Amino acid sequence: MTAPTHDVVKFGYEGYGHKVHAILAYNQNADNVETGTTYYSGGIQPYKTMQTLWYHYDTPKSMFGISLIGMNIGMQSKRINDKKTYYQQLVGTYMTLKPRYVSMEGAFYYQFGRNEYGIPIKAFMGSAKVNVTPSDIYTLFAGYDYLSGDKYFVVPQDGQIGMIYHDTIRGFSSLFGSHHEFYGAMDFFFVDSYVSNFTPGLQNAYVGGNVTPFKGFDIKAAYHFYAIATDLPDVSKALGHEVELEASYRFADFVKLSAGYTYMRGTETMLYLQRVSENRRLHWGRIMLTINPTIFTIGWRDKAKLNR
């Protein structure tokens, strides 16, 4: 019996403003070898095969940058007695523009192919963000994210199963999650599925700022307004409001103390989608001490150059 494997091959080129990376990955689960399948069920690599090609270009002084990505992901069928591998693709771009005191970024990604049940996928997401830095002391930012949702989305009532047939998946999937990175610190939206792997999509509008009153001390505050992207009967699109506060102080180059507090007020729609507790008022606080010293470094010198 073959042992479980997870093989990844990475190679690329970087130089003169251009970067090209390629990734090839393959997963095999020994528990399924005898059935003729090689699906890696569970874990942090939920795919069977993956091929990725990424390209990035920066203009001189990095005022403008653009990235292009293409992914082909093979997923083992989740249908009973179906040994097929279904492939879904993702293509997209991410761009940055950094004139003086202002930086702008935007992204657009499109998904197509078929999901694990063989259903066609036609989904997309777009985002935009602006940062304004009038001085070294503070920065202001604002942005908007839109993730498409499934056209027909049904939440079963209590005690009911609630089934609906989808001929096309239109809800954008973040594939592998984005923990704490894009849609608020509470992580309600880093995965794509709500009910039966379908999603009503997401809209995230936010504003905030960073303040550095003195060296080593930073304060950040942000506000998020969440809404779904799909029309649902009898409920509004609004999901809730989130306020985030964070402060950190760096005692030394390798010692940092940080603390944060997040409050979220969900709407009736959030409760309807079964994403929060009944009180719809959520609080999350944290404090963290990070110690990251450099124990030792290794380097070498070119004797031929030193002797010149």
User: Could you tell me if 131 and 156 are in contact, meaning their C-beta atoms sit under 8 angstroms apart?
Assistant: no
Q: Which residue has the tokens 């550095």?
A: 212
Going by C-alpha positions, the residue among 287, 268, 294, 289 that lies closest to residue 279 is 268
Number of other CB atoms surrounding residue 194 within 10 Å? 20
Q: Which helix (H) or strand (E) holds 271?
A: helix 268-272
Strands (E), 98-216: 102-114, 120-132, 138-147, 202-214
pLDDT at 258 (0 to 100): 95
Q: How far is CA 191 from CA 174, 176, 232, in A?
A: 6, 8, 20
pLDDT at 2 (0 to 100): 46
Number of other CB atoms surrounding residue 31 within 10 Å? 12
What's the predicted TM-score (pTM) here? 0.84
Backbone dihedral angles phi then psi of residue 33, each to the nearest 5 degrees = -60, -40
Residues 6+ apart with CB under 8 A from 138: 209, 210, 211, 212
Q: Which residue has the tokens 């990251």?
A: 292
Across the chain, which has 308 residues, the per-10-residue mean pLDDT values are: 64 90 82 51 67 94 92 86 87 94 96 90 96 93 94 62 72 74 79 63 95 93 94 86 95 91 90 68 91 79 54
Long-range pairs, 61-65, Cβ under 8 A, ≥24: 62/98, 63/97, 63/98, 63/99, 64/95, 64/96, 64/97, 64/98, 65/95, 65/96
Instruction: Report the topology of domain 5-235.
Output: Porin (2.40.160)
Domain ranges of the chain: 5-235
Number of other CB atoms surrounding residue 213 within 10 Å? 9
